[in-house]
Amino acid sequence: MFGTIPTPHRIVSLMGSVARKSCLFLILFGFFGPGAYAGGKPETGQEPRNPEWVLAVTAFDVSALPPARQVIGDLLTKSLIDSLNTIAYRVRVSPEYIYYQEYARSKDRAAAAKALAAKRGERDQLLFQGDPEWKYRKTLKTKEEEIKKLEESLKTAEEEAPPIALEPAFKLAETNMAGTFSPPPKAGGEYRFCVSQKADAFLAGSLIEFHGRLYAVLRLYTLYSQSFQYEDTVIFSIEDTRQGVDELAGRVVAAVSGSRPGSILIRGTPEEAVILIDGAFAGRGEAGPLEHPPGSVEIQSFADDYQALNIPVEIHAGELAELYINLQPLSREALTITVPDESARVYRGALYIGQTPLPVEIPTGQSTYFHVETPEGKTASAVRPGGGTGETLNALFLQTSIPSTGAEGRVAKARRKFYGAWARFWIALPTAFLLQGISDSQVRAYNTTGNAELYQPAQNSYYIAISAWVLFGLVSAEVLFRAGVYIYSSWKDADPLVRSPSQKIN
């Protein structure tokens, strides 16, 4: 890895660049990892990214139709293409804009980091080119200036978000322009299909017979949401085929162009109620107004001790949908928690609620977990069953006992060993850097003066530095191993959250 010591004419330390890069990677990965970014404003005069929005239209699924009627699929496709060709641009909603902006930021950051790493590699290679001292210093100075500029470029890429075109030009996929319509992808392959078609979205549809009529379904999958953002249906008779096709095509054009996005405003009680829109968190108590493409959405709202609600809402283009949610509180029943001949702290789940004997109110029909702990360390837990058991309990008596410490001892032992390895890591790391610096100084002194008396000390310090880095690698491996053992022990010996009312914690 580090090479060998050559004859006493010139000693070259290979540790300088390789070891420093490896350690820098370990430190950055261990401490920072994938971190959050700081948003920034785009530079004035910078050209917006993603100036085009590409749509791929897939072939309609007409396999359920009789062969004589399958030609209607071609008619529907032609009508859609004619209507879509009237779209000049698409208006991006906020989530779509943020998706492309973050994609562009990541791309810029990766390009800047790659350029910086390459330039640093060129600087490190100067030591091995064998140039004269004056030329080496001159070239090194130039490389350092270039690296400084690239570091500034990387910082700019991390802090500033590039602008994205708010109204990109609409364009059909190249395969559609050539008159080819690929079959729609199978479930799970939608994202790859968009990437392969170089499209921002694709439109898929199907036709089936429904009691002598035709039932058409159209779905729009968007790359930024990685889901079907729009779905529409229309049912029409054979005689009204043209009218039904034109109606469906008009709806699709409105959804694809995005020129008139809808919005939704939700107000709910109680104030701490969580509000979800299609499973995504939107706020507490109030959400919006939020832009959203036209179509149906599912609104979920829930809060502790309240009945949850799931409400479908239709969002229309250019309109604000307002929704008021009033969660109904659950019916409650009284319960007294008692520990015989002792006073104990009572926890409902992980929340401390008081000392025994403790009267509490719990929702009817829901199971509730209680845990008690005495000052002497005795513990007990039970689950108050919900409704439907056919029994009514006005009191809950818990018999406490001293918990076993076997699992805790294993976890504590694993934790101590991990902390010990972590401490050795931070002893070995600066020691390796210190010995490497001493070795570099002695090697540089020998290479500069050519004094034979300096060769043996330089050689010894070289091997000592290698040993220090090898030791650091072993300590790093131990840290990873101890961390894995600690995590596994904590997971394996964790107590279950819920036990039956009659079960004790031993």
Instruction: Give CA–CA dist 264/324, Å, rounded.
Output: 11
Token pair 């969580």 is found at: 274
The predicted model gives 74-93 an average pLDDT of 82
Q: Which of 72-81, 166-175, 317-326, 362-371 has the highest mean pLDDT?
A: 166-175
Q: Which of 38-52, 279-293, 413-427 has the highest mean pLDDT?
A: 413-427
The predicted model gives 286-304 an average pLDDT of 80
User: What is the structure's pLDDT at 202?
Assistant: 92
How does residue 501 score in pLDDT terms, banded at 50, 70 and 90? very low
Which residues face 295 on adjacent strands? Answer: 315
- Tell me the three state secondary structure of residue 228: strand
The predicted model gives 215-224 an average pLDDT of 89
Q: Write the pLDDT tens digit of every residue in 257-294.
A: 765 667 889 998 888 899 998 777 888 888 878 777 66
Q: Write the pLDDT tens digit of every residue in 6-36.
A: 333 333 333 343 344 344 333 333 433 333 3
Topology of the domain comprising 332-397: Immunoglobulin-like (2.60.40)
Least confident of 163-172, 391-400, 427-436: 391-400
Q: Is the pLDDT score of 39 beyond 60? A: no
Instruction: Give CA–CA dist 194/179, Å, rounded.
Output: 18
User: What is the structure's pLDDT at 470?
Assistant: 92
Q: Is the pLDDT score of 366 beyond 80? A: no
Strand segments (E) across 294-448: 295-302, 309-315, 320-326, 332-338, 345-348, 351-355, 358-363, 368-373, 379-384, 395-397
Token pair 């104990």 is found at: 344
The predicted model gives 341-359 an average pLDDT of 81
User: What is the structure's pLDDT at 365?
Assistant: 67
The count of C-alpha atoms lying within 13 angstroms of the C-alpha of 404, restricted to the half-sphere facing its C-beta, is 9
What is the architecture, at CATH level 2, of domain 262-326? Sandwich (2.60)
Asked if domains 262-326 and 332-397 share a fold, the reply is: yes
Q: Is the pLDDT score of 54 beyond 60? A: yes
The answer, as to whether pTM is greater than 0.75, is no
Q: Which has more confidence, 308 or 380?
A: 308
Q: Beta strand pairing status for 295-302 and 213-222?
A: unpaired
Q: What Rg value do the Cα atoms of the chain yield, rounded?
A: 34
φ, ψ of residue 160 to 5 degrees: the values are: -110, 130
Q: Is the pLDDT score of 500 beyond 50? A: no
Q: Is the pLDDT score of 3 beyond 60? A: no
Instruction: Give CA–CA dist 442/448, Å, rounded.
Output: 10
Instruction: Give CA–CA dist 219/230, Å, rounded.
Output: 6
3-state secondary structure 464-480: HHHHHHHHHHHHHHHHH
How does residue 502 score in pLDDT terms, banded at 50, 70 and 90? very low
Strand-by-strand arrangement of the 395-397 sheet: 358-363, 332-338, 395-397
Q: Is the pLDDT score of 464 beyond 50? A: yes
Instruction: Give CA–CA dist 151/145, Å, rounded.
Output: 10
User: What is the structure's pLDDT at 187?
Assistant: 87
329 vs 273, 282, 347, 360, CA distance in Å?
A: 12, 22, 22, 16
The predicted model gives 237-247 an average pLDDT of 74
What does the buried/exposed string (b/e) look like for 356-365 if buried means 16 or more CB atoms within 10 Å of the residue's CB? bebebebbee
Instruction: Give CA–CA dist 427/212, Å, rounded.
Output: 81
CB 355 within 8 A of CB 344: yes
Q: Is the pLDDT score of 364 beyond 80? A: no
Q: Write the pLDDT tens digit of every residue in 467-477.
A: 989 998 998 99
How does residue 221 score in pLDDT terms, banded at 50, 70 and 90? very high
Sorted by where each begins, the domain ranges of the chain are 52-92+167-257, 262-326, 332-397, 406-492
Domain 52-92+167-257 has CATH 3.40.50.1980: no
